[in-house]
Amino acid sequence: MTRFIESTITFPYKRSLGPVVGAFMTALTEKKILGIRCRDAVLVPPMEWDPATGAELPHEFVEVGPAGTVESWTWVPAPSEQHPLDHPFAFALVLLDGATTPLLHAVDAGTPSAMSEGMRVAPRWRGSRVGRIDDIICFVPGDMAETEGEDTGGAGEPVTRMDYLASITYRNPVPEAADRATEASREHRLLGLRCPTCGRVYAGGRGLCPVDAIELGPDCEVDLPHTGTITNFAIVTPVQYPGQTETEPFVRAFVLLDGTDVIIPYSAVIELPADRVKVGIRVDAVWASPAEETEEGGGMGGSWGSLLGWIPNGEPDLDDPDLVNRIF
Amino acid sequence: MSGPSTDIAVIGWAQTPMVRHTDKSETQLLMEAITDAIDPLGLTRADIDFTCLGSCDYITGQAFSFVSNLDAIGAWPPKRDSHVEMDGAWALYEAWLRLQEGDIEIAVVTGSGRSSTGEPALIYPMEMDPYFLAPLGADPLTFAALQARAVIAAGIADERSMAEVAVRARGKGDVESLLAEEFVRLPLRRHDVPPITDGAAAMVLATGDRARQLVKRPAYITGFDHRTECHNPSFRALDDSPSTRIAAEAAGLGDAPVEVAELQAAFTHEELLLRRVLGLGDDVAVNRSGGALRHNPIMATGLCRVGYAADHIFGGGRRALAHSTSGPCLQQNLVCILEGRS
């Protein structure tokens, strides 16, 4: 049975708005909706360029709505977590009074039988507005705009940026080779896979030979040595992005295993400070003791499992100018 | 636009099993599809001069996911390679352009996607306009429903003709019982909507004499074009597809009749709209494969359309059309004309 692993990726985007979208978003905080003049048309939402020709439009804004007419609609019987309302609603193309193109937005109509083409709708404004399209929570039937909660007023200054948090959860299969490599690490074995066609050896539970494009099964497994040489390294000065737990500069080294062509990339090092790391240092593998074992494994992550990293073993450094080129 | 001076032809293709949920990684799917495409031609990966892969990081859930997909092409010694964050049909377009340079003979293109990795209904809204649409969770079903309404209002489709498309595509069900089902997005019912499919496809292209050495009846690409429209469906006439029409004209659809057409219509009304826009009469066999309504491996769905059109030529057919699309409400459209020669 293939094992699956679930992970959630979030992207906290900060989007700059530019002169046209920015003006629209700023106006939203003042409970106004702006279109832009494009020849004889008034485009809503406003665009920087003529959608037909790509020509830049002069910044000639026109206040539209706030009420409008439903041109077309569909019903959402089971809203998702991303939708503006948590109960069934309509998505509609709303032609705001004074506009010539429709705006897509939600209409809180209760039931689909309350929706019709040509019906009048008006915004339900959020009380506290930041300059996002969802400052309009949704539209409601009728000509009267409403405000939900205490009205905290306009932004007072131009809105130039918009936050958008994208978050996606994925479920990925874990290659069996990766699980086997992790299991072997529990016994303090460093597992490699030798390609039967080209003879190259790969570590890290990759499970295939990228040169010959074939899968490598358990019959290809070999035990790799636990000593090697640092061929190259980076000193990473951590930037405090979300999820970064490191606070001080740290080393990531590439280790060439003795008697093989195998490079263990991006390796953690132990008892080797950033100001002492250099090419040619001889190192031994360090494995987690039973007390240090965790679900997530050692300091290397992924299928390296209980391998914590590499420690200088006291042997004399190697002086080989070609070492630095070995990162693959 | 006429075709290039060098003959460029599809000489083979393969697809993985198309399933709701695969245990294989995208790289594994591609390894299988590429091997299955080149093996019957007597080719090895070493014979491939250029590869272009079509896939999508958002679907895979990994930045630069195409880098691990390179493991499937055997890129050592280093190969000429490219990638499009688009359906494999656009990878095919790039390979067709590349082969016109005349210095290489064989290209492989792929399309791959594991839609089951994520939740498509939640991922696609994030690909929409980031200012006006993504924050509302404007999803593909909603856009499709709004386009279906426009197509129905224009008299091009109705709920019955849409159900008929679904029955024909899937080869099961009956129109009356389908029409008794609830709407998932009015006027769309479950049968109007594509399945979620994992899968990959790979296609082999070859130039002139090399193509004729390798297969008896190459499927020559005689016309190829793609066009796009404004990103926001609010600014478009949803009961028309001018980009499809222009691409078809540029690809030479009007020069001679086609016997079959494979259209990337994920929703039933899209097939009816595309038939109208392309002027396909009842004498043209449309989506005999079942199309995207039967299997919809996102990023490979369009390439499969070209594959099925090529199968028609391999089997003795004279002329076939393949169509692919991208973006909400048929925003961008690609038309490829394939021909056989006696």
- Mean pLDDT over B267-286 rounds to 97
Task: Please say if the pLDDT value at position B140 is more than 90.
Answer: yes
Task: Please say if the pLDDT value at position A32 is more than 50.
Answer: yes
Question: How much is the mean pLDDT over chain B?
Answer: 95
User: Which residues of B fall within a CB distance of 8 Å from A213?
Assistant: 31, 34-35, 45, 71-74
Q: How far is CA A37 from the centre of its chain?
A: 36
Mutate to test the interface with B, among A44, A74, A100, A101 (most CBs of B within 10 A): A74
Q: Do A91 and B234 touch (CB under 8 A)?
A: no
- Same domain? B86 vs B136: no
More confident residue, A148 or A241: A148
Q: Residue A160 class from Cβ within 10 Å (0-12 exposed, 13-18 middle, 19+ buried)?
A: middle
Q: Do A215 and B31 touch (CB under 8 A)?
A: yes
Angle, helices B140-153 vs B268-278, to 10°: value is 50
**Domain stops at, among B164, B183, B214:** B214
| Residue B247 lies inside a defined structural domain of this protein | yes
Q: Which of A101, A175, A211 sits opposite B234 (nearest CB)?
A: A101
Query: Count of CB contacts below 8 A, A vs B?
Result: 140
Task: Please say if the pLDDT value at position A274 is more than 50.
Answer: yes
Question: How much is the mean pLDDT over chain A?
Answer: 92
Provide the pairing of β-strand B188-189 with B106-114. Answer: unpaired
Q: How many Å from the N-terminal Cα to the C-terminal Cα in chain B?
A: 24
For chain A, domain boundaries: 3-167, 182-190+219-325
Q: How far is CA A114 from the centre of its chain?
A: 39
Q: Which of A93, A134, A215 sits opposite B234 (nearest CB)?
A: A93
CATH number at residue B272: 3.40.47.10
Task: Please say if the pLDDT value at position A124 is more than 80.
Answer: yes
Q: What is the pLDDT of residues B250-268, one digit of tens each?
A: 999 999 999 999 999 999 9
Complex ipTM more than 0.85, yes or no: yes
**pLDDT classification of A294: cutoffs 50, 70, 90:** low
What pLDDT does residue A291 have? 72
CB A274 within 8 A of CB A245: no
CB B76 within 8 A of CB A212: no
Task: Please say if the pLDDT value at position A300 is more than 80.
Answer: no
Residues of A (75-94) whose Cβ lies below 8 Å from B: 75-77, 80-84, 91, 93
Q: Do A74 and B234 touch (CB under 8 A)?
A: no
- Same domain? B326 vs B301: yes
Length of chain B counted residue by residue = 342
- Mean pLDDT over A243-259 rounds to 90
d(CA B342, CA A91): 53
What are the tokens at B109?
């293109």
- Same domain? B200 vs B309: no
CB A151 within 8 A of CB A29: no
User: Which residues of B fall within a CB distance of 8 Å from A14?
Assistant: none
Q: What proportion of chain A, given as a percentage, has pLDDT over 90?
A: 77
Q: What proportion of chain A, given as a percentage, has pLDDT over 70?
A: 98
- Same domain? B309 vs B276: yes
Q: Residue B25 class from Cβ within 10 Å (0-12 exposed, 13-18 middle, 19+ buried)?
A: buried
User: Which residues of A fall within a CB distance of 8 Å from B25?
Assistant: 172-173, 175
- Same domain? B104 vs B226: no
Question: What is the residue range of B111's domain?
Answer: 8-118+195-214
Q: What is the pLDDT of residues B34-54, one digit of tens each?
A: 999 999 999 999 999 999 999
**pLDDT classification of A299: cutoffs 50, 70, 90:** low
- Same domain? B110 vs B154: no
- Mean pLDDT over B240-254 rounds to 98
Q: Which of A21, A134, A162 sits opposite B136 (nearest CB)?
A: A134
Nearest to B136, CA basis, from A11, A103, A153 = A103
Number of structural domains in chain B: 3
| Residue B3 lies inside a defined structural domain of this protein | no
User: Which residues of B fall within a CB distance of 8 Å from A166?
Assistant: 126, 134
User: Which residues of A fall within a CB distance of 8 Å from B35?
Assistant: 213
Q: How far, in Å, are A67, A91, A138 from residue A109 at the CA level?
A: 15, 10, 10
The SS3 assignment for B50 reads strand
Task: Please say if the pLDDT value at position A99 is more than 50.
Answer: yes
Report the amino acid identity of residue B275. Answer: R
Nearest CA in chain B to A168: B123
d(CA B193, CA B140): 10
Model-wide pTM > 0.90? yes
**Domain stops at, among B153, B180, B214:** B214
- Same domain? B176 vs B316: no
Task: Please say if the pLDDT value at position B186 is more than 90.
Answer: yes
Task: Please say if the pLDDT value at position A246 is more than 80.
Answer: yes
- Same domain? B239 vs B106: no
Task: Please say if the pLDDT value at position A243 is more than 80.
Answer: no
What are the tokens at B154?
């224009």
**pLDDT classification of B1: cutoffs 50, 70, 90:** very low
- Same domain? B226 vs B326: yes
- Mean pLDDT over B66-95 rounds to 93
- Same domain? B250 vs B267: yes
User: Which residues of A fall within a CB distance of 8 Å from B185?
Assistant: 74-76
CA distance B45 to chain A (A): 8
Residues of A (201-220) whose Cβ lies below 8 Å from B: 208, 210-215
What pLDDT does residue A2 have? 83
**pLDDT classification of A258: cutoffs 50, 70, 90:** very high
- Same domain? B327 vs B227: yes
CB B303 within 8 A of CB B91: yes
Nearest to B113, CA basis, from B81, B142, B141, B85 = B85
d(CA B264, CA B298): 11
Q: Residue A45 class from Cβ within 10 Å (0-12 exposed, 13-18 middle, 19+ buried)?
A: buried
Q: Do A134 and B71 touch (CB under 8 A)?
A: no
Nearest CA in chain B to A1: B23
- Same domain? B61 vs B160: no
d(CA A315, CA A274): 19
Q: Which residue has the tokens 């394939």?
A: B338
CA distance A35 to chain B (A): 13
Q: Which of B25, B45, B131 sits opposite A133 (nearest CB)?
A: B131
Residues of B (190-209) whose Cβ lies below 8 Å from A: none
What pLDDT does residue A297 have? 54
